[in-house]
Structure 1
Amino acid sequence: MRIKSVFSHSFEKYGKVLTGYDVTDLLKKLDDTTKKPDNAVIYEPGDAGLESLPIAKEFSDNAYGGMPIQVGYCNGNNTKLNCLEWHRGSELNIPSNDMVLLLAPLQSVKNGKLNTSAVEAFYVPKGTVVEVYETTLHYAPCNAVKNGEVSKEGFRVIIVLPKDTNTEKPAIKEIDFEDKLLWARNKWLIAHPDSSEAKAGAFVGLSGINIDISKAK
């Protein structure tokens, strides 16, 4: 798998890079106040400290047009795809370490199924504000790959989403097929059979290899 740049033409169907936001204080608080596991990934949908910064209102007013948002984080070390998810509404990713995103188009999912050959990898430099469109499948970030070697520093990534996304799954009556894929509030997910999510009961919709970024170029 070739790793492309988030600034490349290939990324344009998945999202865009936002400019003009000063994320210095946001990333400093992320680094100073949140943990980064060595052999796992942690996710917090909303963090009061991060949300108290002025830039949180800028994201709400400007990036989301006045809609309520949450500012959380995803930290740790990871090299595998495992699952793909999507939301109603764009997601902002802002890393304090270089990272890689594994992405695919939602339009390619048929009856909850997708072959992992449709997944592409994109390199995101630290400090970049990346908007991932709601039609883009994504999941946990991956460690950066430099000169063919996976970085051992892991990642800390700000995650901005519409408020209450990724919180407790609502109790629903299944109406549409996609209801089978709802894994949390505003979070639809398809899992690879090798993943812990699949073992926990997530819908198994990914076929092919469970991509490992450590084998990318």
Structure 2
Amino acid sequence: MRIQNVADDAFRRYGKVLEGYDFTELLKEMKHTPVPEDVTYVPSVEEMEALPVAKELQNKGYGGLPIEIGYCNGHNKKLNGLEYHRSSEINVAVTDLVLLIGHQQDVEKDFTYDTSKVEAFLVPAGTAIEVYATTLHYAPCHVNESGFQCVVVLPKGTNTELTFEKAAEGEDKLLTAKNKWLIGHEEAAIEGAFNGLKGENVGID
């Protein structure tokens, strides 16, 4: 798969590179987070949310809405699934990483998606990006064998456990957590996911 860069014009349909933030302290805090052989995701880390940049992200990034700051770390080379939210997601790459992404508009009426439409973008270490709400995404892929580390900023409560009954049909069947609609690939066998990704479980070499 051809890997593009988030600085390329092609990324503008999916999101944008963010400028004007000082992530020095946030990147330091990320040094304390584990990098497992698989993938781990923690929605909210109190120490990160107490940093001055958190208030900046809340006000500039989300117009004053309450936010959560967590991380996604690990080792991964495959797509496995695609999720979307009703809000943008801000990512800060602590290491070089690659995002496999697509457009929500390409999801079919039966909630299936053709993985041949996925594109790959390198997010260089130290780069912050906004991933638009209509961009399908999931866990990053690592570039170096030491794994990847990525800060994840979202509206507060996103990706936490559902506290209501969801319908078994329609778009509701994609809900696996609050503000998280997920389409999985059968090869990945993601618990609770609707396996609507059709085609190869694409990845990077």
TM bucket normalised to smaller: over 0.9
Alpha-carbon separation, structure 1, partners of 2:162 and 2:82: 17
Deviations 1:84-123 (CA, angstroms, capped at 9, x unpaired): 0000110011011000000000000012100100100000
> What is the correspondence of 1:78-157 to structure 2 with a 5 Å cutoff?
78-110=76-108, 111-144=110-143, 151-157=144-150
Aligned position for 1:147:
none
Alpha-carbon separation, structure 2, partners of 1:141 and 1:66: 27
Alpha-carbon separation, structure 2, partners of 1:196 and 1:180: 16
Aligned position for 2:25:
25
Deviations 1:110-155 (CA, angstroms, capped at 9, x unpaired): 12100100100000101111100000000001012xxxxxx21211
Alpha-carbon separation, structure 2, partners of 1:73 and 1:196: 22
> What is the correspondence of 1:1-217 to structure 2 with a 5 Å cutoff?
1-31=1-31, 33-37=32-36, 39-110=37-108, 111-144=110-143, 151-174=144-167, 177-197=170-190, 200-214=191-205
How much identity, in percent, do the aligned residues show? 52
One-letter amino acid of the structure 2 residue matched with residue 141 of structure 1 = P
One-letter amino acid of the structure 2 residue matched with residue 207 of structure 1 = K
Deviation at 1:173, TM superposition (A): 4.2
Alpha-carbon separation, structure 1, partners of 2:91 and 2:192: 27
Deviation at 1:174, TM superposition (A): 2.1
One-letter amino acid of the structure 2 residue matched with residue 122 of structure 1 = F
Alpha-carbon separation, structure 2, partners of 1:109 and 1:137: 9
Alpha-carbon separation, structure 1, partners of 2:34 and 2:142: 16
Q: CA RMSD in A?
A: 1.1
Q: Secondary structure at the match of 1:27?
A: helix
One-letter amino acid of the structure 2 residue matched with residue 20 of structure 1 = G
The runs of 5 or more residues in structure 2 that have no matched partner are: none
CA contact (8 A) 2:74 2:148 kept: yes
Deviation at 1:49, TM superposition (A): 0.8
One-letter amino acid of the structure 2 residue matched with residue 203 of structure 1 = F
Deviation at 1:175, TM superposition (A): 8.5
Q: Secondary structure at the match of 1:213?
A: coil
The TM-score normalised by the length of structure 2 is 0.97
CA contact (8 A) 2:26 2:48 kept: yes
Deviation at 1:54, TM superposition (A): 0.4
The TM-score normalised by the length of structure 1 is 0.91
Deviation at 1:212, TM superposition (A): 2.0
Change over 3 Å in CA distance of 1:98–1:171 after alignment to 2: same
The runs of 5 or more residues in structure 1 that have no matched partner are: 145-150
Q: Secondary structure at the match of 1:55?
A: helix
CA contact (8 A) 2:166 2:175 kept: no
